[in-house]
């Protein structure tokens, strides 16, 4: 599991940074990646990345401001021409379906894969055997949502030497134990999974928030997260400006991470006024004063999300 940023600027692109888009690479877990927001130019950023649109499985849109979704119609169309024929699920606030369908219809864009558009107002959006995705509304000028991606715990490693002593060889019985089912040994002994499985591997949590002012909803979304992605549009000397425009400062992002007990914080969505490295470092330093495990999101860099103890 890795974070890969393709846009870290707020509002409009600059020469240094593109507008918002972030990939969660799940190659080991699902052989796919998920996309969070799709600002203008995202498909160009993907061309410069190790990502392939044919591997895109889900897109989560935080809100309907242009810097977070103007790249969506082009990306959906291009995916059809880049080997993307598997189903794609698109999640976002009410109005997303109208925007996408109108754009594709008027441009006569054709896609050769199943596109499912799920409009939501928070709650549990997705769940399967490996992941669950939850969402909650934040505090922005329009409806803006945060997403909490929860990896389910993995069973511990089988003690194959012990299984040999019980006369159990690799095969279907191994699978039953890994699924949490008991089995019967050749000697008629009931063997429980806990008897032969090592310590459970705790699943990871990644929280990605849309644009927001500080609000109560962001804390449960980020609780204990291994990685929290939070906007840091301004330095705290512009806290009043941030409040007026429904955004957060770097310090406020760090305060949220600290209160939620997150393990690491990735700052993004920087105002275009912060063009130079020394200005960006001020954002980082401001956050570190409150939450030491803060870092600046850099475009086209991979950030591994490690399990505890790795």
Residue pLDDT, tens place only, 193-230: 888 887 788 999 999 999 999 999 999 999 999 999 99
CB 233 within 8 A of CB 270: yes
Question: What are the tens digits of pLDDT across the range 237-288?
Answer: 999 999 999 999 999 999 999 999 999 999 999 999 999 999 999 999 999 9
A 10 A CB-CB count for 292 gives 11
Q: Which residues are annotated as a binding site for Zn(2+)?
A: 63, 65, 67-68, 140, 211, 269
Would you state the structure tokens that stand for residue 155, as one six-digit string? 């069973």
Q: Would you state the structure tokens that stand for residue 243, as one six-digit string?
A: 């409040």
Instruction: Evaluate the CA torsion angle 254, 260, 264, 265 in order and state its sign.
Output: negative
**Taking a C-beta distance cutoff of 8 angstroms, is the pair 23, 3 a contact?**
yes
147, 133 Cβ separation under 8 angstroms: yes
What are the residues facing 16 on neighbouring strands?
none
The pLDDT, as a whole number, for residue 239 is: 98
Helix axes 277-288 and 250-260, enclosed angle (nearest 10): 30
- Would residue 237 show up in a list of annotated catalytic residues for this protein? no
Alpha helix locations (H) across 91-154?
A: 96-106
What order do you get walking across the sheet with 32-38 strand by strand? 115-119, 88-92, 56-60, 32-38, 21-26, 2-7, 302-304
Give the tokens for residue 64: 């309907």
Task: Give the residue ranges of DSSP H helices in the chain.
Answer: 27-30, 42-47, 66-69, 72-81, 96-106, 160-165, 172-178, 193-196, 218-222, 239-244, 250-260, 277-288
The token duo for 274 is 């912060």
Report the SS3 class of residue 212: coil
Q: Tell me if residue 258 falls in helix, strand or coil.
A: helix
**Per-residue b/e over 186-216, b at no fewer than 16 CB within 10 Å?**
eeeeebebeebbeeebebbbbbbbbbbbbbe
Per-residue pLDDT of the chain (310 residues; tens, 9 = 90+): 999 999 999 999 998 999 999 999 999 999 999 999 999 999 999 999 999 999 999 999 999 999 999 999 999 999 988 888 999 999 999 999 999 999 999 999 989 999 999 999 999 999 999 999 999 999 999 999 999 999 998 877 888 888 888 888 888 888 788 777 888 888 888 888 888 887 788 999 999 999 999 999 999 999 999 999 999 999 999 999 999 999 999 999 999 999 999 999 999 999 999 999 999 999 999 999 999 999 999 999 999 998 875 6
Q: Mind listing the domains of the chain with CATH numbers?
A: 2-154+201-304 (3.60.15.10), 160-196 (no CATH)
Residues forming beta bridges with residue 56, ordered by sequence position? 33
H/E run at residue 23: strand 21-26
Alpha helices in 119-187 (DSSP H): 160-165, 172-178
Among the listed residues 28, 67, 139, 195, the single catalytic one is: 67
Q: Report the SS3 class of residue 226.
A: coil
Could you list the residues known to form a binding site, using ranges.
Answer: 63, 65, 67-68, 140, 211, 269
* DSSP code of residue 180: T
């Amino acid at each position: 599991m890795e974070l890969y940023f393709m846009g870290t600027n707020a509002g409009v692109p600059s020469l240094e940074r593109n507008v918002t888009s972030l990939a969660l690479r799940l190659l080991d877990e699902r052989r796919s990646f998920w996309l969070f927001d799709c600002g203008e130019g995202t498909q160009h950023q993907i061309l410069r990345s190790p990502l392939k649109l044919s591997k895109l499985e889900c897109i989560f849109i935080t809100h309907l401001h242009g810097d977070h979704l103007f790249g969506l119609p082009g990306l959906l169309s291009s995916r059809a021409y880049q080997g993307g024929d598997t189903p794609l699920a698109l999640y976002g606030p009410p109005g997303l379906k109208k925007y996408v369908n109108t754009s594709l219809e008027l441009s006569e864009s054709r896609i050769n894969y199943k596109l499912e558009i799920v409009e939501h107002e928070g709650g549990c959006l997705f769940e399967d055997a490996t992941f669950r995705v939850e969402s909650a509304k934040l505090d922005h000028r329009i409806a803006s949502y945060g997403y909490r991606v929860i990896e389910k715990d993995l069973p511990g490693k089988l003690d194959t030497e012990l299984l040999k002593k019980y006369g159990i060889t690799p095969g279907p019985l191994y699978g039953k134990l890994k699924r949490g089912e008991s089995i019967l040994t050749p000697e008629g002994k009931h063997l429980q999974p806990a008897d032969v499985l090592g310590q459970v591997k705790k699943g990871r949590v990644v929280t990605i928030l849309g644009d927001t002012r500080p609000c109560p909803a962001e804390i449960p979304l980020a609780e204990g997260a291994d990685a929290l992605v939070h906007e840091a549009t301004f330095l705290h000397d512009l806290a009043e400006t941030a409040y007026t425009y429904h955004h957060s400062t770097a310090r406020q992002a760090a305060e949220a991470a600290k209160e939620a007990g997150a393990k690491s914080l990735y700052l993004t969505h920087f105002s275009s006024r912060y063009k130079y490295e020394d200005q960006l470092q001020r954002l980082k330093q401001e956050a570190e004063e409150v939450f030491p495990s803060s870092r600046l999101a850099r475009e086209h860099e991979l950030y591994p999300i490690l399990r505890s103890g790795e």
